[in-house]
Structure 1
Amino acid sequence: MTTTLTADVAGLVAAEQLGALSGEYAADPLVSDVDWAGRVDLPLADELAVQAACGIMHVHGRAAGRPQRLGVDYASVLAGVLAVQGVLAASIARVRGARLTAVRTSVADAALLAVQQYLAVATTDDDWAERWEPGGRPPFTSRDGVRFEVETLYAEGWRRFWQELGADREAVAEGWWPFQQRFATAAGHLPEALHATARNTDYEAVVAAATAAVGVSVLPVRDVPSPPVEVPACGLRPLPGTATRESEKRGEAPLDGLVVVESTRRIQGPLVGHVLRLLGAEVIRVEPPGGDPMRGIPPMAGDCSVRFRALNDGKRAVEVDIKSPAGQRELRELVAGADAFVHNWAPGKAEQLGLDAEDLVRASPGLTYAWASGWEPLSWPELPLGTDFLVQAHSGLGAAAYPGDEPSMPSLMTLTDILGGMVCAQGVLASLLRRVRTGRGSHVDSSLFSASGVVPRGVHRPVWTVLDRPLRTADGYLVLPRDMAPGDVAGPLGLAAGGTPGEVAARLRDRPTEVWTELLADAGVVATPVCTDLRALAEDPRFERALGRTTHVHPLSPWEFS
């Protein structure tokens, strides 16, 4: 059995995901060590410390205008998935002749991976100013008290939806930019007039307006944090045929010599290829004629969008019109020389194009064919758009992101996009392990919804005290260790032994963060300053071993193999 050395959620997640693999998909007996800080030179001892130091509280709290604790152990969950990916990659390398026995990663490495796009924006030299402000964010509340999320990918759908509800035209126009940019900025300040329109409309009429607008989805925000149904994180189905070629291992990285073709967009899909590239695979990115439109969206790093570069640097791009018969033939030719194909197309598109698993496995026997979707395996009479915030709303993850005394709402940090890409990459690695062992391929099914279920959470949302949240100091914020009692810090703060949480919070406002962290450290309490500036994080020498720089700052590969 694989040994996972961890004291928290990361180990539980890794054990559960590895335990779900069996037979030809099961990993080798390897040591997987997950610690808190990894290559970050800080005394990080729990999930809250990692969230504070590595930027998660900052990004999650942008919509509120202050750092906020994310109510689930998100960084630890990502670290657990990283551990599984590392074990599977090492197992692939062992079949191909490498002498690997252990893999190591950390919760801090996982957290940096989660904020990598925001970190890239903060550290590019582009003069373009990112525009966002707190407050006014979705979700909306209807007249009959339903809190709901709206999603559309096109301006015309947005206009028609609000037109159906009788909203002010100027407010509709003003709201489109922050609405569409909320995926990129983690904030979404919408005009109050739009919220007022929603409050004057029954939810049934909201649904009718979305239907009339076309290309618009609305879903209620569930208040229960547990998912409505339990589904596997990733499904693996054998495909017919056996590979006729063996991929030559050429270098030290576990996936050296393996080739992945991807046709993906936005975050979830490109992240799959990004992870596989970090593990050594050659990734060929298929883009439409003229290139992916995301390349031109500011801020820029050189001649390309820095957000696009964060997930796609190092891939080889080829332009193919997959809607044409000639382009479909070209894609099949690319796949014929590959070990895996990844896409996150809309449901039904692969079949429509003649590029589903059954089609491509004929071009490449033994192929790993991976679909990163929004909702699979859920079935809906009218399938909603498969995007992050709708999935958070329906899955209960949005409820779990906040404590019980605050309204349920999706985090505007793209939780399921990141986790969905990571889970899909995990499935691809399991399938590739089967391929190098047997020559046979597999169909990998995963989704944003299935990934959301990997995050452990209960049936009820806890109520936090003030000490469970980032605490304001004279010049910033800090967090105390998890479950810290007021009496544990009363002495160094100059309070009576029976001090209350409110008195502790009030006292911390009197002096700067550095003063308090030193005083508390002298008393044996490790308080963690909260990052409120990703550029400052990138310049902090304590992060030097975990970060690299090209045209922007980016996390280095999160695994260490031995």
Structure 2
Amino acid sequence: MSARPIRVLDFGQVMAGPLAGRLMADVGAEVIKIETPEGDAMRGRPPLRDGHSAYFGTLNAGKRSVVLDLKTEEGRRDAFALAKTADVVMENFRPGVMARLGLGYEALSAVNPGLIYCAISGFGQQGEGAKRPAYAPMIHAASGLDLALMDFVPGAERPAPTGMFYADVLAAIYAWGAVQTALFERERSGKGQMVDVALMDSLISMMIYEVQEAQFPQPRKRHVYIPVRTAEGFVIVVPLSAKNFAAMLEVLGSPDWGNDPRFTTPAGREANWAEIMSRVERWTEARSSDECERLFMAAGVPCSRYRTVAEALADPVSVERGITGEVEDGAGSFAVPNPPFRLSLTEAHVRRRIPALGEGTEEILGPLRVGDDG
């Protein structure tokens, strides 16, 4: 195996591509982020501190930044030369854009047969879908996710607004994993390959039950878990097993309704979950969220209070786990999520340095421009 780090040429923009590239950096790859002279648009997205975007930093920590104007012949020539030195190319342009620039898989693999070329798009690289523009909120709507989530909310008259971009995050993770598989295959065969990741496919893959229910409709709606109100917030209580349910009834003071025949079997409890939770709420709404969580958990009943993101990050369990790592840009240091896995031999954590626009251009391109083609 090569002693040098895997070199990744990251043409990613905004979210899915850059996040996949950052995960590569998190496990030790040399990731070179290609930016326009104006820089990735995410550099201007809030939260901003002294003109530096923490959003951009989260997606691009651990990379080097090289500025190339791909609209010019010189920029395309430099990109091509750099791709000849890469192990992996990642991009999330609309299908066909990179090929028109002379930087598609066919052109690059002809001069670099071991290249892993990962393209992330909304609907894949081929067919009618490839022509569509694609942003995560569109994919959430088109995939059925938003209507599936709406169906979980009694009385909802329209889908909820979109604020978290699940499609982008899932596609980035799948791209990262697929690239690892392709690199392993290259160790065996010496051959590179094309990796085609679609946001639509990624989101559909998350809806395991819904895909089956679409084929085999059920007589009643899927059982969902319901928040119950406390004196100042909410908790979720999940007494799935008979043992959990019995323990919950003890915490509640062994109410008479616990013997209701509708609640004595798992199927009965599932079918009448909303009714059970409405009765539980009569007890929880007189107590704090902390007290409810403490009493239920002490009895072995799965329960959690609803927390803010800030509270979750400050939880001693999160701190002990190292769920975030410190990174630094021109405005100082801040915390970003680490990759959600740990390896016993390989360092898997966010790297501290966030690249300034173009900071690596001369250092990385200089040798190529004087004739060193890697």
Q: Is 1:384 matched up with 2:167?
A: no
Residues 346, 489 of structure 1: alpha-carbon distance in 2 compared, 3 angstrom cutoff: same
Tell me how far 1:310 sits from its aligned partner.
Answer: 0.6
Partner residue, 2:371: none
Partner residue, 1:435: 186
| Residues 247, 299 of structure 2: 8 Å contact kept | no
Question: For each residue in 1:96-151, what CA deviation from the matched residue of structure 2 results, as whole angstroms up to 9, or x when unmatched?
Answer: 3xxxxxxxxxxxxxxxxxxxxxxxxxxxxxxxxxxxxxxxxxxxxxxxxxxxxxxx
- Which of 505, 514, 517 in structure 1 is aligned with 2:293? 517
Amino acid at match of 1:468: Y
Residues 338, 301 of structure 1: alpha-carbon distance in 2 compared, 3 angstrom cutoff: farther
CA distance in structure 2 between the partners assigned to 1:385 and 1:507 by the alignment: 50
CA distance in structure 2 between the partners assigned to 1:479 and 1:314 by the alignment: 38
CA distance in structure 1 between the partners assigned to 2:151 and 2:240 by the alignment: 15
Q: Is 1:491 matched up with 2:241?
A: no
| Residues 123, 130 of structure 2: 8 Å contact kept | no
Tell me how far 1:359 sits from its aligned partner.
Answer: 1.2
Q: Is 1:528 matched up with 2:307?
A: no
| Residues 400, 457 of structure 1: 8 Å contact kept | no
Partner residue, 1:547: 324
Partner residue, 2:368: none
Amino acid at match of 1:549: E
CA distance in structure 2 between the partners assigned to 1:264 and 1:534 by the alignment: 27
CA distance in structure 1 between the partners assigned to 2:189 and 2:44 by the alignment: 43
| Residues 43, 56 of structure 2: 8 Å contact kept | yes
Partner residue, 1:505: 281
Tell me how far 1:522 sits from its aligned partner.
Answer: 3.2
Partner residue, 2:159: 409
Question: For each residue in 1:283-338, what CA deviation from the matched residue of structure 2 results, as whole angstroms up to 9, or x when unmatched?
Answer: 00000013223212222245421111111011000100011111000101111111
Amino acid at match of 1:259: R
Tell me how far 1:266 sits from its aligned partner.
Answer: 1.4
CA distance in structure 2 between the partners assigned to 1:319 and 1:397 by the alignment: 37
Structure 1's consecutive aligned runs of 4 or more residues displaced over 6 angstroms after TM superposition are none
Partner residue, 1:142: none
Partner residue, 2:225: 468
Alignment of 1:53-68 (within 5 A): none
Amino acid at match of 1:555: P
User: Aligned with 2:43: secondary structure?
Assistant: helix
Partner residue, 1:421: 172
What percentage of residue pairs aligned between the two structures are identical? Answer: 28
Residues 382, 428 of structure 1: alpha-carbon distance in 2 compared, 3 angstrom cutoff: closer
CA distance in structure 2 between the partners assigned to 1:483 and 1:384 by the alignment: 43
CA distance in structure 2 between the partners assigned to 1:529 and 1:336 by the alignment: 52
User: Aligned with 2:251: secondary structure?
Assistant: coil
Structure 1 residues 494-503 or 509-518, which shifts more? 494-503
User: Aligned with 2:86: secondary structure?
Assistant: coil
Tell me how far 1:378 sits from its aligned partner.
Answer: 6.9
Partner residue, 1:67: none
Tell me how far 1:554 sits from its aligned partner.
Answer: 1.8
Amino acid at match of 2:133: L
User: Aligned with 2:192: secondary structure?
Assistant: strand
State the Cα RMSD in Å.
2.5
Partner residue, 1:556: 338
- Which of 260, 266, 271 in structure 1 is aligned with 2:14? 266
Residues 352, 382 of structure 1: alpha-carbon distance in 2 compared, 3 angstrom cutoff: closer
| Residues 491, 497 of structure 1: 8 Å contact kept | no
Q: Which runs of 5+ in 2 are unaligned?
A: 259-275, 328-332, 346-374
Partner residue, 2:364: none
| Residues 284, 317 of structure 1: 8 Å contact kept | yes
Amino acid at match of 1:543: S
User: Aligned with 2:205: secondary structure?
Assistant: coil
Alignment of 1:40-439 (within 5 A): 96=1, 247-249=2-4, 257-301=5-49, 303-376=51-124, 379-380=127-128, 383-404=131-152, 405=154, 406=156, 409=159, 411-439=162-190
Tell me how far 1:436 sits from its aligned partner.
Answer: 2.4
Amino acid at match of 1:556: N
Residues 260, 377 of structure 1: alpha-carbon distance in 2 compared, 3 angstrom cutoff: closer
- Structure of larger gyration radius: 2
Tell me how far 1:490 sits from its aligned partner.
Answer: 2.8
Tell me how far 1:553 sits from its aligned partner.
Answer: 1.9
| TM-score, reference length from structure 1 | 0.51
Tell me how far 1:363 sits from its aligned partner.
Answer: 3.5
| Residues 547, 553 of structure 1: 8 Å contact kept | yes
Residues 347, 402 of structure 1: alpha-carbon distance in 2 compared, 3 angstrom cutoff: same
| TM-score, reference length from structure 2 | 0.75
| Residues 335, 363 of structure 1: 8 Å contact kept | no
- Which of 522, 526, 537 in structure 1 is aligned with 2:312? 537
CA distance in structure 1 between the partners assigned to 2:182 and 2:174 by the alignment: 13
CA distance in structure 1 between the partners assigned to 2:246 and 2:115 by the alignment: 60
Tell me how far 1:429 sits from its aligned partner.
Answer: 1.2
CA distance in structure 1 between the partners assigned to 2:129 and 2:59 by the alignment: 34
Query: How many pairs are equivalent?
Result: 308
User: Aligned with 1:451: secondary structure?
Assistant: helix
Tell me how far 1:560 sits from its aligned partner.
Answer: 1.9
Amino acid at match of 1:503: R
Q: Which runs of 5+ in 1 are unaligned?
A: 1-95, 97-246, 250-256
